[in-house]
Structure 1
Amino acid sequence: MDVDGNDLTNGSKLHQDDLPSDGLSSVFKTFITVIYLVTFILGVFGNGVVIWVTVFKLKRTVNTVWFLGLAIADFAFSLFLPFSTVYIALGFHWPFGTALCKLSSGITVLTMFASILTLTAISVDRCVLVVLPVWSKNYRGPRLAVLASLVLWGVSVALSVPSFIFRDTAVTNSSTLCYTNFLTGAEEAAFESLAPVDYDTAIAEVESLEGARFHSLALARLLFGFLLPLLVIVASYATLSLRLRRSRLAHSGKPFKVIIAIILAFLLCWAPYHICTLMELQYQHSQPLPLALRLGIPLSTSLTSFNSCLNPILYICMGHNFRQSVRRSLQKILENAFVEDSMHYQTSSQAKTKPASLGEEGSTLV
């Protein structure tokens, strides 16, 4: 059985006994607890405000659909952080039952996929907007963006199903653990019946099956939750950059910078987590884990959590000059961050066209 020190990984080998020492373990628990609490407060409040303003105050555009999807994912992620916080604060004791153990882990993985796939869709959308302006003018609109978002969330649900299936609870040493159990009930019964007859074979088969499933899930998450989206994002913006230089297109640039900042924040916050997962694959049956990995897993996990509260901060800081934004309403700040800015086939001498209004879905933008 593989016990997680958090709810953010399917097959993490981090166990409370893997922390370097009692003193350092206490420091790490305190540090992660503080990060989770801060992220919960900022994430729920910030993303909640973005959702409310986007739904009730802003006109529906393609950009607002994309940003609403990101806010919903980050809000859901933040909402479940108190369960992880309590779990760590109680010394890895899970008092919430098996259903919430599965749900908490599944939601965190689901929102990870939803966030990176939405960022990928935004990148492709902005590339298509410039490369295929006629098609974009005729067909690009909020309805298509909503449909695309629903498809992306459906794919995210499918990719996160193993997190809901394999998460389980068990009582050990008077504590209830929320852990990753790669064996079904039937498989556990079969191995238990084999153990009295041939214990070594039973252990070998259990380790082989758990190892294969851990590798599959870790690599699938790395591939579909990081590497492939990163490849598509880089290709989209490389194509976009080449087209802009070749055609001398003019653009206001602010929404473009907001998107770039959000993408970079996500990639930087999640890259250490995936690196630790790859390292963990090399020490699957090694106990204890190397010191660097024992330190890296909780640190990278807290970093991924903190990402869920960053987007609203970026909207405020980049959506308008910060000193001026504190005197403006949240609606105006988000309008400025999400605006559908115009992109026309103009030479640099004609590049002073005013940005399109929020409702001009036919305008081309970067």
Structure 2
Amino acid sequence: MDANDILLTNSSEAQDGMSEDGVATVMTKISMAISLVTCVLGTLGNGLVIWATVFHLKRTVNTVWFLGLALADFTYCLLLPLSATHMAMDYHWPFGSALCKINSGVAMLTIFASVLTLTAISLDRCVSVVMPVWSQNHRRPRLAILVSLALWGMAAVFSVPTFVYRETASMNESTACYTNFATMAEEAALENAWENASEEGYEAALEKYERVRTSRFHALAIFRFLVGFLLPFLIIGACYLIIGLQLWRNHMAPSGKPFKVIAAIILTFLLCFLPFYTFVFLDIWHPPDLPPSLALRVGSPLSTSLASLNSCLNPILYLCMGQDFREKIKRSLRKVLEQAFVEESVASISSSRNRTKSILVGDEGSTLV
């Protein structure tokens, strides 16, 4: 998915001039390179998780969560070559209107599914720490499957506007794949005003037309920021704050592996998505009647690539940090994945400190938080 997919640009004008500035061109090429690297690493890493969870590992709550997360990230990574081609062709879209909608819509669906699943994983870890008895009695794979399906359903609903408003348009011997926030009926009404109304009537119709498009653009951008970043980030941060306090309360060293993983998860989510949504709001504040600023032309491709990078970092964060890398090399691949997805065991309700450590660190030092 390219920068124009992410920024929801209010018109196709954002694609004009992307190659006019040398710096913007360089940043676009860097974005292409990051997208291709993300595609390769993300496809391999998430494909490995899917293969292991489907064919080799016992179905547990953890494997259900990570299967859903890997499916979202894997699907997103498969779409990245289309976006890289789009950028390489100076934002000419040669794949047709249907694939324009499918590419952008499915990409947005998988982004929401990934973020919502990450949030669910954090909540699950937090509940396991705060309510260990309830977790032991009610934490079942079937419930995790139902929750995962519900999250994918929510992601599908959230991505509907992309399927509706994404379309292609021919401009200067080039085809743009962009977000048009006007419906066909509204465009027909404007055209009718142009043909039949007075100059004042047409200007009033045009003003109303632009006001409706801008309001939809702003509403959708703010909704995506709230649901796709701010609320998940606050929930994830709160969950790991609670987990961290539990570790501290049980006298586990703050320099230990669980704290490093907690910090890595929160910082990665922040660094991947904060620039992404920063440029969403820069685009909102930019006057629609002016060409895109240099900041937008330079920053939007790079911020989009950083958001895409999250799809290949998830398997690394949630699997490879589970135990020392040297130890993983010595183990078989299946054993590594089994350790990463290990379910916690309850020794006894009375040994709450040991149980908390088992929940957060896992068997044989495997960290999955």
TM-score class normalised by the smaller sequence = 0.7 to 0.9
Write the distance in 2 (CA, Å) between the matches of 1:60 and 1:42: 25
Contact 2:76 2:110 in 1 (8 A): yes
Write the distance in 2 (CA, Å) between the matches of 1:5 and 1:155: 24
CA offsets 1:8-62 (integer angstroms, 9 cap, x no match): 3434667233437343343233222211111111111211111101111111111
TM-score (norm 1): 0.87
Is 1:278 the counterpart of 2:281? The answer is yes
Aligned residues: 356
CA offsets 1:261-296 (integer angstroms, 9 cap, x no match): 344323320111111111221114142233223222
**Corresponding position of 1:32:** 31
Correspondences of 1:225-244 after superposition (within 5 Å): 225-244=228-247
Query: How big is the shift at 1:317?
Result: 3.8
- Tell me the amino acid that sits aligned with residue 170 of structure 1: A
**Corresponding position of 1:346:** 351
**Corresponding position of 2:148:** 149
Residue 102 of structure 1 aligns to a residue in which SS?
helix
Contact 2:4 2:15 in 1 (8 A): no
Contact 1:12 1:277 in 2 (8 A): no
**Corresponding position of 2:226:** 223
Q: State which drifts further: 206-215 or 123-132.
A: 123-132
Q: State which drifts further: 13-22 or 291-300.
A: 13-22
**Corresponding position of 1:130:** 129
Write the distance in 2 (CA, Å) between the matches of 1:79 and 1:329: 27
Write the distance in 2 (CA, Å) between the matches of 1:288 and 1:70: 38
Is 1:19 the counterpart of 2:22? The answer is no
**Corresponding position of 2:68:** 69
- Tell me the amino acid that sits aligned with residue 10 of structure 1: L
CA 1:352–1:17 in 2, change beyond 3 Å: closer, same or farther?
closer
CA 1:162–1:351 in 2, change beyond 3 Å: closer, same or farther?
closer
**Corresponding position of 2:115:** 116
Contact 2:14 2:292 in 1 (8 A): no
Q: State which drifts further: 29-38 or 268-277.
A: 29-38
Write the distance in 2 (CA, Å) between the matches of 1:76 and 1:24: 31
CA 1:213–1:356 in 2, change beyond 3 Å: closer, same or farther?
closer
Residue 269 of structure 2 aligns to a residue in which SS?
helix
**Corresponding position of 1:10:** 8
- Tell me the amino acid that sits aligned with residue 283 of structure 1: H
Percent identical: 54
**Corresponding position of 1:97:** 96
Q: State which drifts further: 7-16 or 83-92.
A: 7-16
**Corresponding position of 2:299:** 296
Is 1:328 the counterpart of 2:327? The answer is no
Q: Any gaps of 5 or more consecutive residues in structure 2? A: none
Contact 1:7 1:108 in 2 (8 A): no
**Corresponding position of 1:210:** 213
Query: How big is the shift at 1:147?
Result: 0.7
Residue 8 of structure 1 aligns to a residue in which SS?
helix
CA 1:112–1:129 in 2, change beyond 3 Å: closer, same or farther?
same
CA 1:120–1:315 in 2, change beyond 3 Å: closer, same or farther?
closer
Contact 2:100 2:166 in 1 (8 A): yes
CA offsets 1:296-325 (integer angstroms, 9 cap, x no match): 211101111121111233356413322332
Contact 2:282 2:296 in 1 (8 A): yes
Write the distance in 2 (CA, Å) between the matches of 1:24 and 1:288: 16
Contact 1:255 1:341 in 2 (8 A): no
CA offsets 1:319-359 (integer angstroms, 9 cap, x no match): 3322332333222222222222457653769999798769x
**Corresponding position of 2:85:** 86
Residue 272 of structure 2 aligns to a residue in which SS?
helix
Contact 2:3 2:300 in 1 (8 A): no
Contact 2:65 2:117 in 1 (8 A): yes
TM-score (norm 2): 0.86
Contact 1:7 1:104 in 2 (8 A): no
Q: State which drifts further: 192-201 or 180-189.
A: 192-201
CA offsets 1:135-193 (integer angstroms, 9 cap, x no match): 11111111111111001111111111101110001111111110101111111100111
CA 1:351–1:274 in 2, change beyond 3 Å: closer, same or farther?
closer
Write the distance in 2 (CA, Å) between the matches of 1:185 and 1:350: 59
Write the distance in 2 (CA, Å) between the matches of 1:208 and 1:241: 47
CA 1:245–1:285 in 2, change beyond 3 Å: closer, same or farther?
same
Residue 330 of structure 2 aligns to a residue in which SS?
coil
What RMSD over aligned residues (CA atoms) do the two structures have, in Å? 3.0
Query: How big is the shift at 1:260?
Result: 5.5
Residue 6 of structure 2 aligns to a residue in which SS?
coil
Contact 2:14 2:291 in 1 (8 A): no
Is 1:58 the counterpart of 2:63? The answer is no
- Tell me the amino acid that sits aligned with residue 56 of structure 2: K
- Tell me the amino acid that sits aligned with residue 279 of structure 1: L
Contact 2:247 2:357 in 1 (8 A): no
**Corresponding position of 1:310:** 313
Correspondences of 1:347-366 after superposition (within 5 Å): none
Q: State which drifts further: 212-221 or 104-113.
A: 104-113
Correspondences of 1:186-201 after superposition (within 5 Å): 186-196=185-195, 197=197, 198=199, 199-201=202-204
